[in-house]
Amino acid sequence: MNKFPEGFLWGGATAANQCEGGFSEGGRGLANVDLIPQGSLRREVMNGDRIMLDFEAGFYYPAKHAIDFYHTYKEDIKLFAQMGFKTFRLSIAWSRIFPKGDEETPNEDGLMFYENVFKECKKYGIEPLVTITHFDCPVHLTQTYGAWKNRKMVTFYERLVRVLFTRYKGLVKYWLTFNEINMIMHAPFMAAGLVFEAHEDVMQAKYQAVHHQFVASALATKIGREIDPENKIGCMLAAGQYYPYTSNPEDVFEAHLKNRDNLFFVDVQARGEYPSYALKEMKRLGITLDIHEGDEALLRENTVDFISFSYYSSRTASVDPQLQGSTSGNIFASVKNPYLKASEWGWQIDPLGFRYTMNVLYERYQKPLFVVENGLGAHDEICEDGTINDDYRIEYLKEHIKAMRDAIELDGVDVMGYTSWGCIDLVSASTGEMKKRYGFIYVDLDNQGNGTGKRIKKKSFDWYRDVIASNGAIL
Ligand code: BG6
């Protein structure tokens, strides 16, 4: 095979908080994701250890203006159309629709903004792929209810999804309930609006919050299908299989345990019940979940249609304490793999690990996969003649697309589509920088948000256009 399956959904992916800006426009309320500053405190705030529920003097908050997609969406979508995108992944800023999160009535300006965005996509035959929440949580919900620790969040989320499914019926068909649902364990404020008091049982709080998200996700799946049987609703995992560092059985088992910690989320969302190992683990940790009557049936009866995931890198596990955290990666650090090269930010590059990850997910769940994030964050230089020669990005993407082709062709994995991350440069989630660029389209802004905001096509722009036009035959 040198082409991808007919109807394969090629495109690119973004998230509201990393590109929209317009943080106080159109009646939008403040959200957790607005309040994560650049700089040395960023990680503590993301983790919910340093509580920051309002803007504080002396900090720079990159999400406030981001790349101003709120105003430039027409121009940006036109560029995506020039690359031939079949799909465009974007997320809804919850606080545009319900500024505080607990209102009864949605904010029409916010609804209209996304309606316009979807219509703009449709104008070019681009199918929107919508993440209902990409880490967003209106900050009022954290302040008043403790965010996802509280069962009431299920009701607020239900209200949100009912509004979205109803309003965008016929405009949107592909939905993801929570971006990288497993991120709640690693960056709980950024991923779910959770903050912690000293002496709080953090693990108990996180698992309870996860349960609420599972229930909310299953409910959304149910409601989405009722409102429009054409809807396809998926879960989303920060994926990347762990390898054992050595063949020492202890390393092998450590890798197994770490893989299980991630797959736990999809086990519930795709198989419809808590796996036995998770129940045992929670018991060991002294965690008791508040599970309401009807939750188990809801989870069982409303499993996802497909499994979407992000993949940037494989990970490596070892029991050797000296090796822990020796390389960085997508939020959670792991052990450095001596066989792999890494990006400028230390994320290891492993296309075969991508094929391996796809195999594991497909064998385990037997549901279609959707690759909704993959890409290389790199510094880009503008040459004197104004061009940007990002061959390193083309190389990374080419090797990963080949690996995906092998997974489809040689291993029989069912893949619905591929949206590369940050198809237009946007603010980095882990560092808050602009200079960590993923795009086919350069955005002229620096780390402090200075610049013209002008969009410039990189070399990879034409390359990706040819990939899509040839349905993957030309790489
Ligand atoms: C994923 C997120 O974790 O990785 C994105 O879903 C994020 O929001 C992406 O931007 C890449 O990470 P980073 O830290 O390079 O922006």
C-beta atoms surrounding 426 within 10 Å: 28
244: β partners: 317
Give the binding-site residues of ligand 1, using a 6 Å CB cut-off.
15, 18, 179-180, 238, 310, 330, 373, 377, 421, 428-430, 436
User: Inter-axis angle of helices 391-409 and 459-469, to 10 degrees?
Assistant: 20
Cβ atoms of residues 287 and 202 within 8 Å:
no
* pLDDT tens-place values along the chain, 475 residues long: 577 999 999 999 999 999 999 999 999 999 999 999 999 999 999 999 899 999 999 999 999 999 999 999 999 999 999 999 999 999 999 999 999 999 999 999 999 999 999 999 999 999 999 999 999 999 999 999 999 999 999 999 999 999 999 999 999 999 999 999 999 999 999 999 999 988 999 999 999 999 999 999 999 999 999 999 999 999 999 999 999 999 999 999 999 999 999 999 999 999 999 999 999 999 999 999 999 999 999 999 999 999 999 999 999 999 999 998 888 887 777 899 999 999 999 999 999 999 999 999 999 999 999 999 999 999 999 999 999 999 999 999 999 999 999 999 999 999 999 999 999 999 999 999 999 999 999 999 999 999 999 999 999 999 999 999 999 999 9
pLDDT of residue 1: 59
* Range of the structural domain that residue 319 is part of: 9-469
Q: Is 318 within a domain?
A: yes
Q: Is 4 within a domain?
A: no
Map residue 342 onto helix, strand or coil.
strand
Give me ligand 1 centre to Cα 307, in Å. 18
Give me ligand 1 centre to Cα 288, in Å. 32
CATH number, residue 99: 3.20.20.80
Residue owning the nearest CA to atom 7 of ligand 1: 429
Nearest-CA neighbor of 82 among 402, 440, 422? 440
Q: Where do runs of H (alpha helix) occur along 228-380?
A: 249-266, 276-284, 295-301, 351-365
Which one of 20, 178, 373, 426 would you pick to mutate in the ligand 1 pocket, going by the greatest count of ligand atoms within 8 A of its CB? 373
Give me ligand 1 centre to Cα 308, in Å. 15
C-alpha to C-alpha distance for 472 and 4, rounded to whole angstroms:
6
Residue owning the nearest CA to atom 10 of ligand 1: 429
Q: Is 410 within a domain?
A: yes
Which one of 430, 431, 434, 437 would you pick to mutate in the ligand 1 pocket, going by the greatest count of ligand atoms within 8 A of its CB? 430
Q: Is 426 within a domain?
A: yes
Those residues with Cβ within 8 angstroms of residue 36's Cβ, 6 or more apart along the chain or in another chain = 42, 45, 46, 52, 61, 63, 189, 190, 432
pLDDT of residue 329: 81
The catalytic residues are 373
Give me ligand 1 centre to Cα 12, in Å. 13
Please give the number of the atom of ligand 1 that sits closest to the Cα of 377: 15
Owner of token pair 């993959």 = 374
Nearest-CA neighbor of 93 among 52, 127, 137? 137
Specify the number of domains making up the chain.
1
Q: For residues 451-467, b (16+ Cβ closer than 10 Å) or e, as one string? A: eeeebbbbbbbebbbeb
Helix (H) or strand (E) holding 455: strand 455-457
Give me ligand 1 centre to Cα 199, in Å. 30
pLDDT of residue 2: 73
Give me ligand 1 centre to Cα 322, in Å. 27
Owner of token pair 């959707």 = 370
Which one of 18, 310, 315 would you pick to mutate in the ligand 1 pocket, going by the greatest count of ligand atoms within 8 A of its CB? 310
Residue owning the nearest CA to atom 5 of ligand 1: 429
Q: Is 3 within a domain?
A: no
What's this model's pTM, rounded to 2 decimal places? 0.97
Q: What is the DSSP string of 303-337?
A: --SEEEEE-S--EEE-S-GGGTT-B--SSS-BPPP
Q: Is 474 within a domain?
A: no
Please give the number of the atom of ligand 1 that sits closest to the Cα of 180: 6
C-alpha to C-alpha distance for 286 and 303, rounded to whole angstroms:
28
C-alpha to C-alpha distance for 111 and 100, rounded to whole angstroms:
15
pLDDT of residue 333: 79
Q: Is 135 within a domain?
A: yes
Q: If you ran DSSP here, which 8-state letter would residue 4 be given?
A: P
Helix (H) or strand (E) holding 462: helix 459-469
Those residues with Cβ within 8 angstroms of residue 63's Cβ, 6 or more apart along the chain or in another chain = 17, 18, 21, 23, 33, 34, 36, 427
Q: Is 154 within a domain?
A: yes
Nearest-CA neighbor of 128 among 118, 115, 120, 137? 118
Cβ atoms of residues 188 and 194 within 8 Å:
yes
